[in-house]
Each structure stands twice: as structure tokens, then as C-alpha cells.
């Protein structure tokens, strides 16, 4: 129990640091004068529509319009619940997640987050990942909305790494 409290405290500290390190805006700064000076709008890609849907409660997924608030919540959840085993750009205890929303259907990703054990017992794609790593992913107790928030965060990150 003490170990769990330490892990939770570290996760909360990481979240606080991430939130406090966001760039500050200067309200007195002049707006960009030319079109070239204006920041480019990020285009967030569509989820992969064809492929394995996985095993679990999510049988279909309708892509919502991108929502920055949902992605930000997903970022916080990712820091607290996922970074012990996953990095975005490199393998850790689990695989790097860079490009996952371009390689896997949203149903598959959500089912892996929500139905972890059965996916690693029966889903052929999850079994293939399991063979590449010494440890197996465990459920981190996400509800469906939390899983969708993490999915939206990963979609946003994948859009940045075209």
C-alpha cells in the first residue's frame, strides 16, 4: 500500500509539473501582422477506420470533432496512468505509442485500455505485442471517457509527428 501511495504521489507531482510548465502568453504582445507570422493550425488526422477492432465493450466508434479540452485531460491521465510503462517516442516496459492511432483502429485501442486482460489473452495483435516485451500490460482502471481522453491525446500527438 505504501508503494502505491508513493507511485500516486509521483504521478500527481508529474501532472502538476506538466501543467505548470505550459507556455505563458503575453496579453500585451501585438498580434501577428502578416499571414506568414500567424501560427499554423494543427490538422488532427482521422482515426484508422479499417482493421482489427479488438475484443471488448467497444464495437464501433464515431470520431468526434477534435476537442482540445479532452486531449488535455488525456495528457494528464497519460502522465499519471501510462508513463510508468510507456513513452510516446521510445520503448520502455511497453511499446512506444508514437503513431498508434495511425496503425490501430480506435476500437482496438479503447478495448485494450478497457479490456486489457482479455485482449492479451485472445486478440492476435495484442498477443503479437506481448511476445515483444517481458511484461504484460495490466489494467489501470480507466472508465470509457478516460480511455477516450487518452485516445484523443494520442491522436493529437500523432498529428504533430506527421
The domain that contains 105 carries what CATH number?
A: 1.10.760.10
Q: What is the pLDDT of residue 130?
A: 85
Nearest Cα neighbor of 109 from 81, 136, 69, 149 is 149
Q: Distance between CA atoms of 117 and 47, rounded to whole angstroms?
A: 24
Residue 103 lies in a domain: yes
What is the pLDDT averaged over residues 8-37? 41
- Domains identified in the chain, total number: 1
| C-alpha separations of 24 from 19, 20, 27, 59 in Å | 11, 10, 9, 41
Confidence grade of residue 42 (pLDDT, cut at 50, 70, 90): low
* Cα distance between residue 100 and residue 158, in whole Å: 8
What's the rounded mean pLDDT across residues 12-18? 42
Evaluate whether residue 156 is within a structural domain: yes
Instruction: Tell me whether residue 99 is in a domain.
Output: yes
- Give the pLDDT mean for 31-37: 42
Query: What rounded mean pLDDT belongs to the chain?
Result: 79
Residue 134 lies in a domain: yes
More confident residue, 97 or 20: 97
- pTM attached to this predicted model: 0.71
Q: Which three cell numbers stand for residue 72?
A: 488535455
Q: Can you tell me the mean pLDDT for 77-81?
A: 96
Range of 60's domain? 44-160
Amino acid at each position: 500500500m505504501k508503494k502505491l501511495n508513493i507511485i500516486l504521489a509521483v504521478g500527481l507531482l508529474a501532472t502538476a509539473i506538466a501543467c505548470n510548465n505550459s507556455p505563458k502568453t503575453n496579453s500585451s504582445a501585438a498580434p501577428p501582422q502578416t499571414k506568414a507570422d500567424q501560427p499554423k493550425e494543427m490538422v488532427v488526422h482521422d482515426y484508422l477506420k479499417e482493421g482489427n477492432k479488438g475484443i471488448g465493450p467497444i464495437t464501433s466508434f464515431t470520431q468526434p470533432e477534435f476537442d482540445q479540452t479532452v486531449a488535455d485531460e488525456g495528457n494528464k491521465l497519460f502522465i499519471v496512468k501510462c508513463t510508468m510503462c510507456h513513452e510516446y517516442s521510445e520503448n520502455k516496459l511497453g511499446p512506444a505509442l508514437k503513431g498508434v492511432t495511425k496503425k490501430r483502429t480506435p476500437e482496438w485501442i479503447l478495448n485494450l485500455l478497457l479490456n486489457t486482460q482479455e485482449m492479451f489473452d485472445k486478440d492476435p495483435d495484442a498477443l503479437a505485442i506481448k511476445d515483444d516485451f517481458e511484461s504484460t500490460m495490466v489494467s489501470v482502471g480507466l472508465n470509457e471517457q478516460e480511455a477516450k481522453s487518452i485516445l484523443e491525446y494520442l491522436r493529437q500527438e500523432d498529428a504533430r509527428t506527421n
